[in-house]
Structure 1
């Protein structure tokens, strides 16, 4: 009972720091949204280029994908924070020093590069699953490369790549907690860790972080599932989002007593019996 009373007091004390927790939550959401947007752009570009039949395009794209997939996000963050600024220290005339020293921007870029490399492989694999007949049809119609990708190939691949992109975006959301090690990035994990230090009580702070990240991941997953349902419906492979959200009411089973066909059948049987 004493333990429960202590936890109740700690939870109550956290309400005094709700502003800090909300600011940290907003920073976490910004990291997930901006990092996810950058990762999506990188994944689309590298995924398309990596599937090119031209070696001089495919080769460098594959090297970049494998390189950034093989680097730990934590190592990439340390390298961008502590190694990259050395180039500006050695060459003060180089432009962009303010950007390199912006910890929040570095966190967004690191998340985008790391998870964008994983997403690029999902994009490339989805493009290769589009039937060859679709590619041949666009060639027969003399479509330009941009037109065939936008109107025929990419819509089919988009529905296939969305489940993988959903998983990656959820992983990116959880991976954004690592960015709190950067100076000046006061995300939710940073604020919870700072509030924990005076009391060294882990349970209440860890529980708040666990529930918050779970709710964010659930919202993100539902949003991506809605996009997937919409993409499949456009291809004629499933119900629309409106049909999923508002299913048809169950149809009533007609009463056999009031069914004209049943009544007629019963009358005939009686007549036959009388004859």
Structure 2
């Protein structure tokens, strides 16, 4: 038990950086997902081409290599160097934003055609149609896949240990390496527990958002959300 307290204390030192990387990465992912996803549906071909280059370029290359580019190649090319944790946020947001763009595009396209026609009949402008009619319904479809994407982003924060950012995984390595700690199984199980708890927090927030969105649209929550709601009473 004495060892457990020491391990938790050391891992907790990496928790703030993991939270910053996760929350910052999620915020940037949302912005880039909507920007690139809606750009993929743009009536202007050049906008679609630029967005497609971003989406395929980031999805088609290694996230670890992207991390090394940000930290080691970018300063050489342009003379600009990120503060380490914000460089990590940039990599996570850029990479997962490319995946999120396809979620946004697919959700918008899944809105029934009748909704577009009804908004057109009301003489709404394209921006009004998107903001008032299409996006509210599309967002409800985006939430479950975004939940998965955000959990994947959380797990990807572990790659920041490669550039010596002291997040959870790096702290666990610091426990193990100096003395070739024989408690390797217990320490890594504890590390898994940290990620599991954080994943459950993300899922709880997204399910609450899913229920709120469903209520706002006058829909019944999905079965998973309904079970979660029932379990709170």
Q: Same fold (TM over 0.5)?
A: yes
Query: Which of residues 183, 190, 194 in structure 1 aligns to 2:174?
Result: 194
Alignment of 1:259-274 (within 5 A): none
Query: Is it true that 1:136 corresponds to 2:117 in the alignment?
Result: yes
Report the equivalent of 2:192. 210
1:23 deviation in Å?
2.2
Q: Distance in 2 between matches of 1:136 and 1:245?
A: 35
Query: Is it true that 1:171 corresponds to 2:152 in the alignment?
Result: yes
Q: Distance in 1 between matches of 2:187 and 2:60?
A: 32
Q: Distance in 2 between matches of 1:163 and 1:215?
A: 18
Aligned residues of 2:210 and 2:221 also touching (Cα < 8 A)? no
Q: Distance in 2 between matches of 1:242 and 1:131?
A: 24
Cα deviation, 1:197-217, whole Å, max 9, x if unaligned, reads: 113331121011011101110
> Structure 1 residues 100-109 or 13-22, which shifts more?
13-22
1:54 deviation in Å?
2.3
Report the equivalent of 2:25. 35
Q: For residues 244 and 218 of structure 1, do their structure 2 counterparts lie closer, same or farther at Cα, with a shift above 3 Å needed? A: closer
Q: Distance in 1 between matches of 2:141 and 2:13?
A: 36
1:141 deviation in Å?
1.8
Matched position secondary structure for 1:71: coil
Structure whose CA Rg is larger: 1
Report the equivalent of 1:85. 75
Provide structure 2 residue ranges, at least 5 long, that are not aligned to the other structure. none
Report the equivalent of 1:93. none
Report the equivalent of 2:97. 116
Q: For residues 134 and 78 of structure 1, do their structure 2 counterparts lie closer, same or farther at Cα, with a shift above 3 Å needed? A: same
1:120 deviation in Å?
0.4
Provide structure 1 residue ranges, at least 5 long, that are not aligned to the other structure. 1-10, 90-96, 250-275
Q: For residues 244 and 164 of structure 1, do their structure 2 counterparts lie closer, same or farther at Cα, with a shift above 3 Å needed? A: closer
Report the equivalent of 1:47. 37
1:245 deviation in Å?
3.8
Q: Distance in 1 between matches of 2:65 and 2:214?
A: 38
User: Root-mean-square deviation (CA), in Å?
Assistant: 2.2
- Matched residues, number: 228
Cα deviation, 1:162-211, whole Å, max 9, x if unaligned, reads: 1110100000000111111113x110111111011113331121011011
1:134 deviation in Å?
1.1
